[in-house]
Structure 1
């Protein structure tokens, strides 16, 4: 189904490029607005969010410590502080870090709006039945992304920081971590988890295109389980409860993807 221009005729290639250009302009403007908002509250973002997992009273550590005491498990999370010193070794290090962190925060804030812009761009090429799913698509995609961000921030990131901060090859080596290195771990973990939680949406489109089937996902389920368990074993203490806390949400996502693929594969394609 081809897009129509303002005169009702079919859009040319240049018309599509012009529409794409304005999509990018509006998306960048939304990111810039989000970045300005984040920059305004940058001190709170750094102290209360980004550097919060470096404090021994962070909610994840307290929860795991309470769970460890209750069930007599590993006590590695019952700490007063994380043995890390964050340092900036360049003159403009803290300023440039503030700018780039605000941009990343702006991207996260503007994510639903960018999705809406992408949907408007592809909507004319969809069937009427597919257009009606716009609100559901944007809502589901945004919710999954933010759930992934929260999962990465409250589980994967503190578990990783605690593991890496306490890992030592020798007592004479101290963990004086560069600011860029720490923020790289934070951004990579949070954004990666946000994108990983989009797995059901990605599987839906791949199934629509016929590139993925439910039987294919079931066939390779054992490998997916091994990979998930391996990741959970690395970032968590050596006890079953902690590993299951990370493993279960990821397995639920994978199983949900199988169900979505099965339902999509059974849906008959609409003939134009």
Structure 2
């Protein structure tokens, strides 16, 4: 085999790695599962790399995460974070490093979510990937910042219940998961409206469907806010529920506008199936020429 044949075979193999599609850009179930596996693998690699960085900056990160509760300590009711076993510091190190890895790698795994939806979009619609990342990443980080703002008030409420003359010793294995889950809940919650817009662009979710079930959506927002808020802290629920409701309204407006734009395009160009039939149809003049 010559070098030219080898290079051609190599290029053919590279082209085969890309999942085949039908003329309208759709993939089979097996191809969707393969695409999902590839996206999950890439996201996992990014998270692992971010977690390695998390191990490096673990000590200052742990100090920052425990600062909101340690500063509430008073002479009458001291507050401190403690470890109850020899192996617990390592467990906490893993959790903090993974938390940092999720934040640092958020542009990658958020893009992988979008890229998994991309095969259902038209070529001219894939340019919105930049807009998706530009909106999703700041919202995710902004949600974590919002959760960090609400955290001290929630902690102040709970520690205020400590009786005078007693110490409030908090296990690190309880406190760190409490904080990281709260912050991630805020971050992920604010990304949900962007995902809804992505599903709308993929043709999976219509804006009128979102509008029809807006009461259910508001109820789900309240549930998410209640799950993200620790205990019965009403203010934390408000900090999460208010921006999430606002973002849902914005996502609903974008979805309705996109539906209107898609309807106008299909009215002029026809549906994708009709366009395919028109491309495959043979003009009547050709039949006359053959006769």
Fold agreement, TM-score > 0.5: yes
173-182 or 198-207, which moves further after superposition?
A: 198-207
2:282 pairs with 1:266: no
Q: CA deviation at 1:114?
A: 1.5
- Which of residues 71, 80, 84 in structure 2 aligns to 1:85? 80
Contact kept, 8 Å, 1:83 with 1:165, in 2: the verdict is no
- Which of residues 125, 144, 154 in structure 2 aligns to 1:160? 154
Distance (whole Å) between structure 2 residues aligned to residue 151 and residue 8 of structure 1? 40
Q: CA deviation at 1:206?
A: 5.7
Q: CA deviation at 1:235?
A: 4.9
176-185 or 245-254, which moves further after superposition?
A: 245-254
Q: Deviations over 1:177-210 (max 9, x none)?
A: 1111111211111000001112322432565523
- Which of residues 125, 130, 142 in structure 2 aligns to 1:147? 142
Distance change >3 Å, CA 12–CA 221, structure 1 → 2: closer
Distance (whole Å) between structure 1 residues aligned to residue 237 and residue 35 of structure 2? 47
Distance (whole Å) between structure 2 residues aligned to residue 227 and residue 165 of structure 1? 25
2:47 pairs with 1:31: yes
Q: Report which of the two structures shows the higher radius of gyration computed on alpha carbons.
A: 2
1:118 corresponding residue in structure 2: 113
Contact kept, 8 Å, 2:81 with 2:169, in 1: the verdict is yes
Q: CA deviation at 1:81?
A: 11
1:128 corresponding residue in structure 2: 123
Q: CA deviation at 1:113?
A: 0.8
Q: CA deviation at 1:223?
A: 5.7
- Which of residues 176, 187, 191 in structure 2 aligns to 1:194? 187
State the secondary structure of the residue aligned to 2:84. coil
Instruction: Work out the number of aligned pairs and report it.
Output: 239
1:98 corresponding residue in structure 2: 93
Structure 1 segments unaligned to the other structure (5+ residues) = 57-76, 237-241
Distance change >3 Å, CA 129–CA 80, structure 1 → 2: farther
Contact kept, 8 Å, 2:186 with 2:240, in 1: the verdict is no
Distance (whole Å) between structure 2 residues aligned to residue 124 and residue 201 of structure 1? 18
Distance (whole Å) between structure 2 residues aligned to residue 14 and residue 224 of structure 1? 32
2:282 corresponding residue in structure 1: none
Q: Deviations over 1:129-176 (max 9, x none)?
A: 3212111112211111111111111x22112111111124x4465421
TM-score by length of 2: 0.67
TM-score by length of 1: 0.71
1:184 corresponding residue in structure 2: 177
